[in-house]
Amino acid sequence: MRTDFCPADVAPAGLHLVLLSTRSIIIGLKERRLEPKTERGRQARRGSERLRGVEACLARSSLTPGLPALIKMRASQINGCAYCLHIHSEEARAAGESDDRLLPLDAWHESALYTDRERAALAWTETLTNIATTHAPDAVYDEVSRHFSQAELVDLSIAIAMINSWNRVAIGCVGEAGRTMRQPTDNLEAFKSRRR
């Protein structure tokens, strides 16, 4: 199996190309270590193998390191995926994001903590995550286009599609997030040790 492809090269079997007016995104997801609640979880792992190539390509993309963490968190908040929120909050912290910026992320519209570029990316994240109701309006596209080159916008759109796909697989196939996360007391101790 070829794992070094980029979305512009080829869409492997199992991926679907979604056309949004003149903008295209490939839906994919990154395989994570999952604790499947049923056989569905084991089947989902098989399907995600081809999608890892898209994730590897995104890791080499032009997006700044902290931005993918913010969009993964925001899409996971909208979709209600506790498993992904846990995973990506840890990734965001490892990438240098602070709790001061992560905790109010769902109220980014009202916060001055995010740059104009981040705000445009978060608006685009919400638009594509809620595509059935938003239909990717031109005004949001025009705003995000002011802050991202066309290549960056493709990478951003693919990253948003990836986390939305991942949320659906995690919610549909994995089960309760608590089985794979540390207990709250562990999180509290880790939080206290970082503050010292």
Domain limits, the chain: 17-195
How confident is the model at residue 100, as a pLDDT? 96
Q: How far is the C-alpha of 156 from the C-alpha of 58, rounded, in Å?
A: 9
State the pLDDT confidence band at 189, using cuts at 50, 70 and 90.
low
Residue 6 has pLDDT above 70, yes or no: no
State the pLDDT confidence band at 114, using cuts at 50, 70 and 90.
very high
**Which residue in the block uniquely carries the two structure tokens 């997801």?**
29
Question: Which listed CATH number (3.40.1010.20, 1.20.1090.10, 1.10.10.10, 1.20.1290.10) goes with 17-195?
Answer: 1.20.1290.10
State the pLDDT confidence band at 41, using cuts at 50, 70 and 90.
low
- Mean pLDDT on 116-139: 97
* Residue 92: C-alpha distances to residues 17, 67, 89, 167 (Å): 28, 9, 5, 17
How confident is the model at residue 141, as a pLDDT? 98
How confident is the model at residue 171, as a pLDDT? 85
Q: How far is the C-alpha of 29 from the C-alpha of 118, rounded, in Å?
A: 22
- The helix (H) or strand (E) run that includes residue 94 is helix 82-94
* Cβ–Cβ under 8 Å, residues 97 and 66: yes
Question: Between these two residues, 136 and 10, which has the higher pLDDT value?
Answer: 136
State the pLDDT confidence band at 57, using cuts at 50, 70 and 90.
confident
Question: Between these two residues, 11 and 147, which has the higher pLDDT value?
Answer: 147
- Mean pLDDT on 16-37: 36
Q: Does the global pTM surpass 0.75? A: no
Residue 12 has pLDDT above 50, yes or no: no
